[in-house]
Amino acid sequence: MENTYTLSFTASFADSFEEHIHQWEEFGLSEQSIQKFVGNIQSSLELLEYNPEMFEDIADRYAFDKPTFRITVGNRYAIFFRIDDEKRQVLVGSLFSQNQMNVSF
């Protein structure tokens, strides 16, 4: 579909995602709870393909020099991303815990 955006995941997204899953396993979360949370992340990311600007632009809040958007996942996590309208691409950054919000992109 030509109105959609392509998602491009940074290496930092993959690394942070794996790190969080490992932490959740260490904290003793059940496989079912982890899968539910991963499903929530996946659902949020799928929305980016159709309307990435539906999420909050937080560039001013974190002093980024480019428009940067945030997906909040539950009460504790966020994913930052940027949009390249010309290429119809969304660059997905790291998965952050809300207490890690001193971030760079």
* 3-50 tens-digit pLDDT: 899 999 999 999 999 999 999 999 999 999 999 989 999 998 999 999
pTM value? 0.83
Residues with Cβ within 8 Å of 33's Cβ and at least 6 positions away in sequence, in order, are: 24
Q: Which CATH superfamily is domain 6-98 in?
A: RelE-like (3.30.2310.20)
More confident residue, 12 or 102: 12
Domains of the chain, residue spans:
6-98
Rg (CA), the chain: 14
Cα separation values, 25 from 2, 5, 34, 75, 105, Å: 39, 33, 8, 19, 27
| 76 contacts 84 by C-beta, under 8 angstroms | no
**pLDDT given at position 98:** 72
Q: What's the confidence (pLDDT) of residue 2?
A: 66
